[in-house]
Structures are given as C-alpha cells and as structure tokens.
C-alpha cells in the first residue's frame, strides 16, 4: 500500500499558501493552483502542508493530490528543468524571443512557440535547456519538441532527452543474401 499521501510537504521560506476550493501556491518563480477533489482536505501546520482523506475510498486521490501539491511547492520555489539534445548533421535550434526555430533536416525550418511560463536556453546549437515552474506543462513542451523529430533507431538522429538511452537497430542485410 502506498503511503505517498501521508508524507508532509515542507513549505520553504518565500512561498505563500492559500487554501480554499483549490490550493493556491505563490513563490518567487510564479503562481500555481492545484485542484482539491472532494473527500480530500489540506491543512497548513507550522510550515508544512498535510493532506488528509475522509476514508480509504479516496486513497488514490490522496496520493495524487499530495504529489501535485508537492510539485507546485517545488516549482514555485526552485522550478524544474528539462534538457534536450539534438543529434544529426545540420540539425540545430535557436531562440528568438518566445519562439524556438528548429532546423531538423526537413525542407523548411520549424517555429515552435513557447507557452507562457516556459523558458528555453540553448547552449551550443544542439543542447536545449527548458525551464519553468509547472512540471506538467514543462514535460508536455519537452515531449512536443521531441516529437518534431523523434530519435531514429537506425541512425540515432533526432531530438532526444539528455541521458536517454537508445537501442540502435541493425540495418537491412545486403541485396545478395537470402
């Protein structure tokens, strides 16, 4: 049985918590809201948030709400980052304002518009670092960027997460073999 929901969430200095119909978390990196489902209650006791449930039928929502609240507190205090690598000859990216321009071997460059709250920095031309306070939005943006040119299992070219392990497949055998 999971005990994720019972773990208290420490609230760092500089983070303001407002508990109402939803949990409002505000900090130096931004502001986030977490919905509080029926059957779940949140208490702020001496610098920690505690998530409580009415009975065991709300066990799944208990753990989910605790994880979402912990991600919101971490996001507004320190933020999250996701690193991407671009592998391939001539593949590169550049940032101009809120738009990332990708050259990924297609006949045209791809313009990717960053949503509000997500920032992108490029070290070299093939290493992207995406940062923001909303973990869910950040993961979705990274997945959408990766989907522009997913890693090819035969040539290992494309956009991938930093540290992502790829299994390279062997190509087709020569024409003379049967």
- Of 101, 94, 84, 81, nearest to 158 (Cα)? 84
Q: What is the CATH number of the domain that holds 51?
A: 3.90.930.12
How many domains are contained in the chain?
2
In a domain, 167, yes or no: no
In a domain, 84, yes or no: yes
In a domain, 56, yes or no: yes
Q: Are 145 and 159 in contact (CB under 8 A)?
A: yes
Which domain covers residue 138, as residue numbers? 80-161
Helices 135-147 and 59-77 pack at an angle, to 10 degrees, of 80
**Per-residue confidence of the chain (178 residues) as pLDDT tens digits?**
568 888 889 998 888 998 888 999 998 988 999 999 888 888 888 889 888 888 888 888 898 999 999 999 999 999 999 999 998 888 999 998 889 999 988 899 999 999 988 999 998 888 999 999 999 999 999 999 999 998 888 888 888 899 888 888 888 876 655 5
CA distance linking residue 66 with residue 140, whole number of Å? 21
Q: Same structural domain for residues 156 and 84?
A: yes
């Amino acid at each position: 049985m999971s005990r994720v929901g019972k773990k208290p969430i420490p609230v760092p200095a500089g983070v303001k918590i407002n508990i109402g119909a939803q949990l409002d978390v505000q900090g130096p990196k931004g502001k986030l809201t977490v919905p509080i489902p029926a059957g779940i209650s949140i208490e702020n006791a001496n610098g920690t948030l505690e998530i409580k449930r009415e009975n065991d039928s709300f066990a799944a929502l208990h753990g989910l709400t605790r994880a979402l609240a912990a991600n919101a507190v971490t996001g507004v205090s320190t933020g999250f980052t996701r690193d991407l690598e671009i592998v391939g000859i001539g593949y590169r990216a550049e940032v101009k304002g809120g738009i990332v321009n990708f050259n990924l071997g297609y006949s045209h460059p791809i313009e990717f518009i960053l949503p509000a709250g997500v920032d992108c920095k490029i070290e070299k031309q093939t290493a992207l670092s995406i940062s923001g306070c909303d973990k869910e939005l950040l993961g979705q943006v990274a997945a959408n960027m990766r989907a522009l040119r997913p890693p090819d299992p035969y040539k290992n070219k494309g956009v991938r997460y930093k540290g992502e392990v790829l299994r390279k497949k062997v190509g087709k055998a020569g024409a003379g073999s049967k």
